[in-house]
Amino acid sequence: MAKKKIETTSEESGVVDTKLKSKAEIQDSLSFSIADSLNKLFSKDYEKVAYYLDGSEEVPSDLNDWVSVGSDIADIAISNRPNGGLPSGRIVEIAGWESGGKSLLCAHIMADTQRKGGLPVYIETENSVDKTFFTSIGIDLNPKKFLYVPLSLTEEIFGAIENIVTKARESKNKRLLTIVVDSISAASTEVEMESGFGKDGFATAKALIMSKGMRKIKQLIAKENILLIFTSQLRDKVGVTFGEKSVSSSGGHALKFYSSIRLKVAAIGQLKVGEDNVGVATEVTVVKNKIGPPKRKVKFDIYYNSGIDNLGSWLNVMKERKIANTSGANYTWVDKETAEELTFTKKTFKSLLKERPEIKKSIYKDICDSMIMEYKRNDSAEADDIQEPLYDSDTVSIDTDTKDDE
C-alpha cells in the first residue's frame, strides 16, 4: 500500500511529529475530512474542489501541454524549463505596437499546436487574415485542423469562447486546443455599435464586459487542455512625462489581472538586404509570469518570408552568456562531455546542427543550463542566526524604476 508523509501534532507535547502513514490512516485525518466535505458540497458544479499537492493526484493547476511561440530562447525564458513555452489551461496576453510581431507569434503558436496534434481556433476582429502567410509559417488550413472565426463584438468573442470550451468538455477529448483572439483591442461592443461617433459607450461598457467575461472564462479553461491567447495593441498615455508611457488594449485592466503570462513585443530595428527591408529585429519582454521568473527579455529576428529565425537567436545567447567564444565572425564551442572543439560561423551554424543532431542537443542543454533559474529553498532562520542571501550582493544591482511595463 502506498505510503504518504504527513504531519501530526501530539496534544501532550505540542511537538510536530512527522510519520509515514498509510492511505487508510490519512482518510481518518482532519485534512481528508475537510476535503471530502468540500467535494460533496460543490459536487453539483465541479467534479472536485479540494486536492492534495503531494503528487498523488492530478490538480487543475498542473501544467501538462506546452506550446512553442516559435523561438526556443523565448520558450525557455517564459517557462523556465527545457522544451517549454506557453502552458495550456492558462490565459496569455501578447501586447505590442503595430508591426511588432504579435500576429506572427500567434501564427507560430497555432502551427506548433497542430504539430502536437491539437486544434487552433483563430478568432479575428481585424479582417486581415492572410492565408498565404499562415501557410508559409507552417499552418495547415485543412478544415479538420484549423478553424477561422471572424467576429467584431466583445460579447460575441466571449460567447464563442464559452461555446468552444463547452463543446470541448462534452467531447471528453483531451486534445490540445489553442484559442487566439487577434485582437481584443479592435473588438467593439453592442453599445458602441448602436451609438454615434462620440465618446459615449466606449471604454466603460467594454471594461465591464471584459471584467465579467474574464472571470467566467478563466474558470472554464482552468481544468481543460486549452490555451487562450489575447493580442492587444499598445497606446500612448497622454500627458505622461515619467514612467511607462504606453498602455495595452482598451476595456479596463481585467485582461492584465487574469492573464497568467503577459508578453510585450516590440520591433527594435529593421533587417535589410541592400536597400530592401526583409525583416525586423524583435524584443519580447515577459512582463508578467505566474509559471516562471518575470521581467526577462529575449531578442530574435523575424523575416517577412519565413517568420522567426529560431537558430539565429541561439548564437546571440551563446555569445552573451559566454557559451561560445567569439573571434571576428567565428564562434568556438567546446562540448563538455566529449571535449570536442568546434569552430563555425553564422552561415555554417544551421548546417552544422542539421548534420550533427547530437551537437544541437548538447548546445541546447548548455543554453538551458545558462538560462533556467533554479529555485532555492529559503528556510526561515533561527532568531540568533544570520540568514545568508541567495545571491552574492556584489552581483546584484538595484533598478529604482519599479513600475511595470505595459
For residue range 175-224, what is the model confidence (pLDDT) as tens digits? 899 999 998 988 888 888 887 776 654 567 888 899 999 998 988 888 78
Q: What is the pLDDT of residues 21-74, one digit of tens each?
A: 555 555 567 777 787 887 777 766 556 777 777 766 666 666 678 999 999 999
What are 93-104's pLDDT values in tens digits?
A: 999 988 788 999
Q: CA–CA distance from 132 to each of 69, 139, 146, 302 (Å)?
A: 19, 10, 14, 17
Whether the pLDDT of residue 287 is over 90: the answer is yes
Alpha carbon distance 7, 366 (integer Å)? 40
pLDDT > 60? residue 364: yes
What pLDDT does 3 receive?
41
pLDDT score of 385: 54
Eight-state DSSP code of residue 264? E
Question: Rounded to the nearest 10 degrees, how much is the dihedral formed by the CA atoms of 391, 396, 400, 406?
Answer: -70
Look-up: residue for cell 532562520?
Answer: 381
Mention every residue, 6+ apart, whose C-beta is less than 8 A from residue 217.
Answer: 91, 158, 161, 162, 165, 228
Quick one: pLDDT at residue 118?
Answer: 94
Strand boundaries in 169-221, DSSP class E: 177-182
Neighbours of 378 (CB within 10 A): 10
- What pLDDT was estimated at residue 174? 81
- Decide if pLDDT at 17 tops 50: no
The domains of the chain, with CATH numbers, are 1-59 (no CATH), 66-308 (3.40.50.300), 317-371 (no CATH)
Q: At what angle do helices 357-371 and 72-79 cross, to 10 degrees?
A: 40
Its pTM stands at 0.81
**Average pLDDT taken over every residue of the chain:** 82
Q: Does 81 score more than 70 pLDDT?
A: yes
Q: What is the DSSP annotation of 311-361?
A: HHHHHHHHHHTTSSEEETTEEEEE-TTT--EEEE-HHHHHHHHHH-HHHHH
Angstrom distance (rounded) from CA 274 to CA 43: 66
Report the range of poorest mean pLDDT among 183-192, 319-328, 366-375: 183-192
Q: Do residues 318 and 331 make contact, with C-beta atoms less than 8 angstroms apart?
A: yes
pLDDT over 50 at 20, yes or no? no
Stretch 378-388: mean pLDDT: 55
Q: pLDDT band at residue 297, thresholds of 50, 70 and 90?
A: very high
Is 50 exceeded by the pLDDT of residue 2?
no
Q: Are 249 and 184 in contact (CB under 8 A)?
A: yes
Say which residue, 240 or 301, is predicted with more confidence: 301
Range from 139-143, 211-215, 236-240, 323-327 carrying the lowest mean pLDDT: 236-240
Q: How far is CA 90 from CA 96, 140, 174, 260, 350, in A?
A: 20, 24, 15, 6, 33
Convert the pLDDT of each residue in 144-172 to its tens digit.
999 999 999 999 999 999 999 988 888 87
Mean pLDDT of the 127-146 span: 92
